[in-house]
Amino acid sequence: MKRSRAAATAAASSGDALGATISSLGRRFTTARPRLSWPAVPELPVLDHDAVLGAVSPAEAIERVREAFVRYHRGEWAMPPKVYLDSPPHGDFRAMPARGSGLALLKWVTSFPGNPERGRPTVTGVICLSDASDGEPRMLLDARSVTALRTGAVAAVAAQALAPDDTRTTGIIGCGLHGAWAARCLATAGYGDGICHDPRPEAARRLAAELGWRAGSRAEAVGRDVVCCITPGTAPVVEAGDLRPGMHLNMLGADGPGKAEATPAAVASCALFCDEWEQAVHGGELTAAVAAGLVTRDRVTELGAVLAGAAPGRPGPEAVTMFDSTGLAIQDLAVAARAYEAWREGRIEAQMVHL
C-alpha cells in the first residue's frame, strides 16, 4: 500500500479498517487495560530505495549535507559516536544516531566487502526517523539510498569548499555504488571532464558513459584536479608521488578500521581535513598516518569548521588538500529529513505500515 501523507491522514480520519480496530480495542479495554487507551502509533510511511532517490535530488542532498555540517559545528545538531559491531570474517554493522531540526535518526547499516562477489551490495540497512519532541517514529527509510546520496553529496561539498575555485577536472578511482554517486554529485556541482577508473572496466565505462566522461587508467584519474577515491580500501591507490600542487583529494573508501586508500606518507604530505576527528582517527584515511606519528590533531581541520567560516580552508593555490570522509549520521539526517519533507509535501508516495 503506497500513500502520500495527505492520503494517510484522510484514511486515518475516515476510519481506516486497521486504525478503527485499534481504536475500538482501545475504547473497549480503557478501564481494565489503561495502557491500550494510549493513542496507537500512527501509520508509518516507509520509503524504499527508489522512493528515497525520487524524493531527494543530488542538488538538494548537496545543499542539505552542507547545512548539516554547519549546524553540527555550531552545536545545533547532536551526534554521539558511531558504534561498530564486527561480524567476522564477513564485515561489520554500524549504529549511527543523530538529532537535529526537530528530528532524531538511527541508521543501522553494514559494510560487507565480500557481498559483491555473491551478487549482493556491500552496504544495506534501515533508517528510523523519529520526532525529537515526543520520540515517536515518523518514517522508515532504505539506508542504502540515503547513504549513497549523502556520501556522494559530501564529495561535492568538500570539493567546493577545498579545491581551488578554477579547478573542474575530475578523477574517480573506484566506480562502484558510492563512486558512482560521488561522480553524479560532483557532476551536479559543476565538476566534469572526468576520468573513471576501476579494475572492473565495465563499471568504469558504464559510469563514464552516464556522465559523458571517459574511462581511463589510475594514473589518468589521479592526474585530474579533483580526485575522488572510493575503493574498498584494501590497498593504497594514491602514493606521495601522485601529489601535485593545487590538487584536491576526497578519500571516501576508508570508513572503518584497517582500511586505507593512500599511503601514510601521501596523507602526511597534504593539508588535511576530515568530517569528524574522532571517527577519522578510529577508522578513516587518517588512522594509519596518526598511528605512525606522521599526523597530529592540530594538523587536521574538520570540514564543518571551514563551512561555518570558523577555520581556514585551502592554505593556498599550491597546497594539496585531502578530505577524509568516514560518513556521519548528520549527513544521513540531512537527506532523510529532506525525504520526509518531500512526503509531507505530497511530492512522493510511501508504503504505509502499522507497528
- Interface positions with ligand NAD (CB under 6 A): 111, 116, 122-123, 147, 151, 173-179, 197-200, 203, 230-233, 235, 237, 252-253, 255, 259, 325-327
Q: Report the residue number whose CB is nearest to ligand NAD.
A: 176
CB of 178 to ligand NAD, least distance (A): 3
Kind plus residue range of the DSSP H or E element containing 107? strand 103-111
Tally of CB atoms within 10 A around 331:
29
Omega within 30 of 0 (cis) for the link into 232:
no
Cβ closer to ligand NAD: 179 or 264? 179
Task: Output the CA–CA distances (angstroms, integers) from residue 352 to 36, 38, 127, 131, in the order listed.
Answer: 22, 21, 15, 17
Burial zone of 227 (CB within 10 Å; 0-12 exposed, 13-18 middle, 19+ buried): buried
Q: Where are the alpha helices (DSSP H) in 163-200?
A: 177-188
Cβ closer to ligand NAD: 145 or 325? 325
Cβ closer to ligand NAD: 100 or 152? 152
Cβ closer to ligand NAD: 81 or 199? 199
Describe the strand order of the beta sheet including 214-215 as a list of residue ranges: 214-215, 192-197, 169-173, 226-229, 248-251, 321-324, 271-274, 300-302
List, as one string, the DSSP characters of 243-259. --TT-EEEE-S--STT-
CB of 172 to ligand NAD, least distance (A): 9
From the list 2, 82, 107, 259, the catalytic residue is 107
CB of 173 to ligand NAD, least distance (A): 5
What SS3 state is found at 53? helix
CB of 224 to ligand NAD, least distance (A): 14
CB of 70 to ligand NAD, least distance (A): 18
107 carries an active-site annotation: yes
Cβ closer to ligand NAD: 43 or 332? 332
Active site residues: 107
